Structure 1
Amino acid sequence: FFDDDQQFADTQQVAFQYPGKGTTGDQKLLIYEQRLWSTNYPHNVDSGVEFYGTKGQMFLSRRG
């Protein structure tokens, strides 16, 4: 471990699975992932949020 005085992990992942008891009857899966001090961002981007779906993906950052 590095001696950087960090007391908590910098990653988190949570998955919520909902049964198909709605008007559509489809099951839903919601996944949330957080990386605070990661350097694995796309080229020329310092931070942002990614959305993944069955028909595509979207990445939003301070730069657009």
Structure 2
Amino acid sequence: MARNTHLIQLRNANIKKRYREIAAKNPKWRNDAVIDMVSEQFFLSARTITAILNNEGVYGKTA
């Protein structure tokens, strides 16, 4: 495994926290606009951010 599982879980928790912060600050924004903003901040694709938020696939597994 390339990275520490704890670091990945911490990153995912920070992504979810940042998503909630941006959505609360900009309540009129569409969901995809918030996801685009988070993806730019974390240097991940919008699809990866969506998977993390929805706990899909490997992003839903907990160690």
TM-score by length of 2: 0.24
- Structure (1/2) with the larger strand percentage: 1
- Structure with the higher helix share, 1 or 2: 2
Query: Which of the pair has the greater relative contact order for Cα pairs under 8 Å at 6+ separation?
Result: 2
Q: TM-score w.r.t. structure 1 length?
A: 0.24
